[in-house]
Structure 1
């Protein structure tokens, strides 16, 4: 298995990636077996619905028998054999409930050797560790291989994931879970030198060095000749500006995939115009993996082999097709920590008609997804709010929220866990000062659950801004 890590990669990063890639390699025979099975199912009308029913019934019965949270709830299996009716007797569960009751939502006989623990990005302000069984990963990767084949993407494609905010380096690896695709990732964290024409000549030595590094990243990206670009809309916008300032677009790329944030129309148009390709947007979250992916017709098709989606109103009552509400997910393959009727905090609707592209998967419309936003400094520079969120997640908090006031100051509101101390608050404040810089006043405040700001229908958001002209102010 080929890996080529940049010398600047920290040892712990390298250990993490080596462990992940070895794990993917060991699972790949099973991935390929399921890939062949899913390819065959796609050719049989009605097979997808039958598969959903079988998996939903097995998942719910397993939860009743082996998961403390559902065993205590007194849910009983329906002898009439209707898994969807049985599903309706399960309670909705929020991210906060899942985070605080993680152990009770895990299988009694969980085997750590067959699971991976993932930490969510925190875009709702609630840190969550999710346990996913190998089976869930196998099925997710297998359905992705089928989807990529349908889109004409070879297993050994080259994928570039540019401008990751957490990184300031480049590294490459081969991903068995993605069909042994060659993947390259790089970031520009801390490299904020202007790319305007002539700026390198006028800048000081530090800015000239940063300018040269950015140019080197652009050239390295071109020399990779990627088949696919993938990343958040924000990261791809940063990459677009990098290329625009250093020689123009990549001519070899055949597909541009966005994920991780809400893709708004203006950003879609800008990326489409620059790269000369339509965007393929994915709706995904670490708790369940990929949830829905756009087809060529633009419809978001649900990964129905692995997931069941509902849409509910503010009171948790299921809505019929065509009505907008909160998206609720049930994972059909994760036995280690069953995700049943999980409230995502995102809003959308289920289509009543099939897509004209011919795929049997049900279609959803994502009305309002996660849009992490960015913090602004008084000098006009910006930085991803996830940098501050990452600092908050290092401390024992039940929930947090980042607030930028109209005077550019930043407050982090935290609902502390029992082990949160004054030392945690002081350390978090220092971390914020390091991230935000001397020009931004910051503070940490402990609050009760009811004291967080809400934004429209979304009650759990990690970032609100009161700066004029921002779209993240509370509704």
Structure 2
């Protein structure tokens, strides 16, 4: 189905305002009758051409302040940047809303929240007001940290999906329903509707999601750079095209293919005036399917295929998988590119990246492969460094550039300990080294958490060589915070010493042999009084800022939690206890009569992304800071009593 009036308008606009098209669109008169012919005469727009001509594809009209930049990937994993105007930004949600109206039988659902689930490190949990209804929100929830929770807490977090409209890629949803099925007792999670997009959706997966979550499931063919191209046919035979995108299926020479013939899928989004992409090659291949599918869907029926010449790999049992199929997945997981090869009865997936993927990211990649080749196929994920010979050429390496070895910014403690032992093995005058901090506990980690490395040295902790060592380690692991101290310095820091002894993961040496011992109750109480003065000032200033906090509610929640936890640690030390772990002191605070305990727990869960971000971020951000301030005041009042009276 072609919207000739919308196409004619887009071509006239591009001819007038987009430098790239001014000498390519030659028709003097563009109207509904001539638009399709004018489109067919244009060359195919490839991803490499978009990269090369990026600035010349921008329109000279429009308010650039309202444009949104997005980054996607090509079939080689090279980044592709596209800008969208406001109309294009709203288009995907508008199409989804209209589709959901039909599926659910009314518009009543629009007062509920719409939540997109992601599982890659850079996905930032956030929520904004929905244009669909004044009482609803549109949000993104990164499940990477929820995924690392024990089963009971993981199960509890899933309750936030009940009654919501949930969107996700098929690979993420496949992982989710698999884990839900393994819970004992089985988890009862029931979103109002699940929308799958971003990857090819199989009938088996759609049926599994519907059964496991007891919900309706639909799918959309979407491209980040083009919006919604098609709506999944309920019969599972393909996608009904939307009126917001013109779609062509063409042969290698750009000519249209006959019905039933596989060809390249080209799209021309009609909404975006910031950077019109005309006859854009998606990298997908498809075929026009028979339109007598038997459903009520409107629009021509497109069926995507995975048989792409030159990239297809035939694997165990005759299953087929393609590196192009995984391009979007690898981009989300922040790896350069992916290659798949046979290994006996299974598959080996090799990805190029400077740093290893996290366990969660590997699980998503494995899930995506199994969706393509079958759930029974074994998959082994292996990293190839960018400087490796295997990463150049066949894997699209970056001109053979040699890069220094690094470890990832998010890693389990054990690999970091092994790495540090090698790095520090021959360091002179190093008495001990250990990791500490909440980042050692997956359930207590937020995206702002630092992994603290304390180096206990014999003398002169500010010497040039220690600064150089700290700088080098931090460069290779950005979230590693390196502290250098002498035993005498640590003796003057009650909380630091207590945390080193209570939470540490040894790397080299032994803290006790360095003469480092738990602080006395008196020392901890004295330091707590001084700390409270500074904490009170910081939180008061932040909470009373005329520009309301909460634009980044995750950071506000993290800041509130950081001060809350230190206040609870000081309370425990002043009471003669020897516990400082984040989860332990927060759980114990329930019996300590801490003010507004539920808000403190909520702030910690928001900071760690164990729940979706709150609807009113500005109000909640201030509320979290005020709750933390109340805990500091509570600590000050508690310290006025003798230590023996603290409970």
Structure 1, residues 346-377: CA drift from partner, whole Å, max 9, x if none? 11112343543233322111123963289xxx
Alpha-carbon spacing, 1:129–1:191, altered in 2? closer, same or farther (3 Å): same
Alpha-carbon spacing, 1:218–1:87, altered in 2? closer, same or farther (3 Å): same
In the alignment, does 2:256 pair up with 1:294? no
In the alignment, does 2:291 pair up with 1:353? yes
Alpha-carbon spacing, 1:167–1:249, altered in 2? closer, same or farther (3 Å): farther
Q: Report the counterpart of residue 166 of structure 2 in structure 1.
A: 229
Task: Note the residue ranges of structure 1 that are not aligned, 5 or more in a row.
Answer: 1-47, 194-209, 375-383, 393-400, 441-475
What is the alpha-carbon distance in structure 2 between the residues aligned to residue 406 and residue 164 of structure 1?
A: 19
Structure 2 matches for 1:140-159, cutoff 5 A?
140-152=92-104, 154-159=109-114
What is the alpha-carbon distance in structure 1 between the residues aligned to residue 202 and residue 244 of structure 2?
A: 27
In the alignment, does 2:8 pair up with 1:57? yes
Q: Report the counterpart of residue 112 of structure 1 in structure 2.
A: 64
Structure 1, residues 250-284: CA drift from partner, whole Å, max 9, x if none? 35323222111222344344334423446312111
Alpha-carbon spacing, 1:248–1:373, altered in 2? closer, same or farther (3 Å): farther
Q: CA RMSD in A?
A: 3.9
Alpha-carbon spacing, 1:298–1:181, altered in 2? closer, same or farther (3 Å): farther
Q: Report the counterpart of residue 18 of structure 2 in structure 1.
A: 67
Structure 1, residues 74-125: CA drift from partner, whole Å, max 9, x if none? 6334568411011011110111110221111111234303422211155651
SS at 1:176 equivalent = coil
Q: Report the counterpart of residue 433 of structure 2 in structure 1.
A: none
What is the alpha-carbon distance in structure 2 between the residues aligned to residue 414 and residue 226 of structure 1?
A: 48
In the alignment, does 2:209 pair up with 1:271? yes
In terms of Rg, which structure is larger? 2
Is contact 2:190–2:213 with CA below 8 Å preserved after alignment? no
Is contact 2:83–2:275 with CA below 8 Å preserved after alignment? yes
Quick one: which of 247, 252, 265 aligns to 1:314? Answer: 252
Q: Report the counterpart of residue 364 of structure 1 in structure 2.
A: 302
SS at 2:275 equivalent = coil
Alpha-carbon spacing, 1:77–1:320, altered in 2? closer, same or farther (3 Å): farther
Q: Report the counterpart of residue 165 of structure 1 in structure 2.
A: 120
1:330 positional shift: 0.7
Alpha-carbon spacing, 1:219–1:407, altered in 2? closer, same or farther (3 Å): closer
Task: Note the residue ranges of structure 2 that are not aligned, 5 or more in a row.
Answer: 307-321, 338-349, 354-378, 420-647
> Structure 2 length normalisation: TM-score?
0.47
What is the alpha-carbon distance in structure 2 between the residues aligned to residue 85 and residue 340 of structure 1?
A: 13
1:345 positional shift: 0.5
Quick one: which of 430, 436, 440 aligns to 2:406? Answer: 430
Is contact 2:230–2:239 with CA below 8 Å preserved after alignment? yes
> Structure 1 length normalisation: TM-score?
0.63
Structure 1, residues 43-100: CA drift from partner, whole Å, max 9, x if none? xxxxx86xx1111011112212221112233633456841101101111011111022
1:319 positional shift: 0.8
Quick one: which of 94, 98, 108 aligns to 2:50? Answer: 98
In the alignment, does 2:384 pair up with 1:410? yes
Structure 2 matches for 1:323-362, cutoff 5 A?
323-362=261-300
1:309 positional shift: 0.2
What is the alpha-carbon distance in structure 1 between the residues aligned to residue 95 and residue 381 of structure 2?
A: 48
1:218 positional shift: 2.3
1:188 positional shift: 4.2
Larger helix fraction of residues: 2
Alpha-carbon spacing, 1:119–1:431, altered in 2? closer, same or farther (3 Å): farther
